[in-house]
Amino acid sequence: MRGSANPPFVEVIVQSRAAWFAARLALCGAYMLGGVIKLTDWPGAVAEQTHFGMTPPALWAAITIAVELVGPLLILTGRFVWLGAGMLGVFTALAALTANAFWTMPPGPERFAATNGFFEHIGLVGGFVLVAMLAGRDRA
């Protein structure tokens, strides 16, 4: 096995438990915030699901809240990280397909924004795959 190709100061950062936690918090923060906001504004959460055509909207709002709160909790506590990352990864992929279906839109600013949103979501899915991969390396 070869040594790290990282400069020593970078290696200190990437091996740090604090940096590992901060990275997971940054990845999960928007989901936690979204879950709390939806939980405190149930009518808004149901309206959001109605907007995206999810039926029954109350059931999907409850599922969304559960995923947005439980997934980050698992990732941040280091318990069943693979499950939390899987929950959020699948949720994010489905959200990308539902909320950012750019391929169904005519050219223009809305399609441009949806295309960017879709690929940003795919990047987050990749981040959750990496978290699940790295979690087994005694970092949590």
Residues 32, 69: Cα–Cα separation, whole Å = 5
pLDDT digits (tens, 9 = 90+) for 75-115: 999 999 999 999 999 999 999 999 999 999 999 999 999 99
Determine, yes or no, domain membership for 1. no
Instruction: Supply the pLDDT for residue 6.
Output: 87
What are the tokens at 65? 């809240």
Q: How far is CA 113 from the centre of its chain?
A: 19
Determine, yes or no, domain membership for 75. yes
pLDDT digits (tens, 9 = 90+) for 22-34: 999 999 999 999 9
- Contact assessment for residue 60 and residue 45, using Cβ atoms and an 8 Å cutoff: no
The domain total for the chain is: 1
Average pLDDT over residues 30-51: 97
Instruction: Supply the pLDDT for residue 137.
Output: 74
Average pLDDT over residues 36-61: 97
Determine, yes or no, domain membership for 30. yes
Average pLDDT over residues 47-73: 97
Residues sharing a CB contact under 8 Å with residue 140, sequence separation 6 or more, in sequence order? 20, 77, 78, 79, 81
Instruction: Supply the pLDDT for residue 15.
Output: 87
At position 5, the amino acid (one-letter code) is: A
Domain that residue 82 falls in: 8-135
What are the tokens at 127? 């981040």
Residues 12, 7: Cα–Cα separation, whole Å = 9
Instruction: Supply the pLDDT for residue 4.
Output: 74
| pLDDT band of 14, cuts 50, 70, 90 | confident
- 7 versus 4: the higher-pLDDT residue is 7
Query: What pTM did the predictor assign?
Result: 0.88
Determine, yes or no, domain membership for 37. yes
Instruction: Supply the pLDDT for residue 1.
Output: 44
At position 71, the amino acid (one-letter code) is: G
Determine, yes or no, domain membership for 3. no
Listed residue (131, 121, 67) closest to 95, CA to CA? 121
**pLDDT, mean over the chain:** 93
